[in-house]
Amino acid sequence: MRLALLLLVSLACRMSGQTIEARRWADHWANVYGIQRELVYAVIETESSWNPRATSPAGAAGLMQLMPDTAVAFRVTNRFDAAENIRAGVAYLALLRDQCGGDWRLAIASYAAGYGRVHRHGLKYDSAEVVSYVARVGYLYRRNRWETLLKFEKGGPG
């Protein structure tokens, strides 16, 4: 029993260390590309629940669930490396923001479904799965912004 508890605590510490490192990279790349970190956090939480080893049946991998072609386009050699994955994912979000004229709902829909698919439908995203994805990211973004504002109100770092 005691050994199991120690293993659980050890795993929890390791996982939180990974999350701290990932948050640092998210903060850094969000700043570089001019995207609010709370949005980057929301995408990561929606895509992988902060699991750097996450994979999808469609072939996406890592924290921001990069598809192989996206990884190649953004010169990622290891999709499971937090720094590379987040750099490419945030750069891709910035590109989508620009392609969608600053409309974050369309940019997030494009991140989920692919820009080509969203663009072909007249910049509409009527897939129930994509609508749900955009709503989830929006909810998490608002929650993250609220938490940031509360930290500032208490005098803590943002």
Q: What domains lie within the chain, and their CATH numbers?
A: 19-153 (1.10.530.10)
Catalytic residue among 21, 38, 45, 47: 47
State the pTM of this model: 0.84
- Token pair, residue 53, equals 């080893």
E strand or H helix at 85: helix 82-99
Assign 129 a pLDDT band (cuts: 50, 70, 90).
very high
The pLDDT of residue 15 is 46
First to last CA, the chain: 40
Catalytic site residue 47? yes
**pLDDT tens-digit map of 8-56:** 444 444 445 668 999 999 999 999 999 999 999 999 999 999 999 999 9
When comparing pLDDT for 74 and 156, which is higher? Answer: 74
Contact yes or no for 89/83 (Cβ under 8 A)? no
pLDDT one-digit tens code per residue, 72-101 = 999 999 999 999 999 999 999 999 999 999
Distance CA 94, CA 100 (A): 10
Q: Which two tokens stand for residue 45?
A: 């939480």
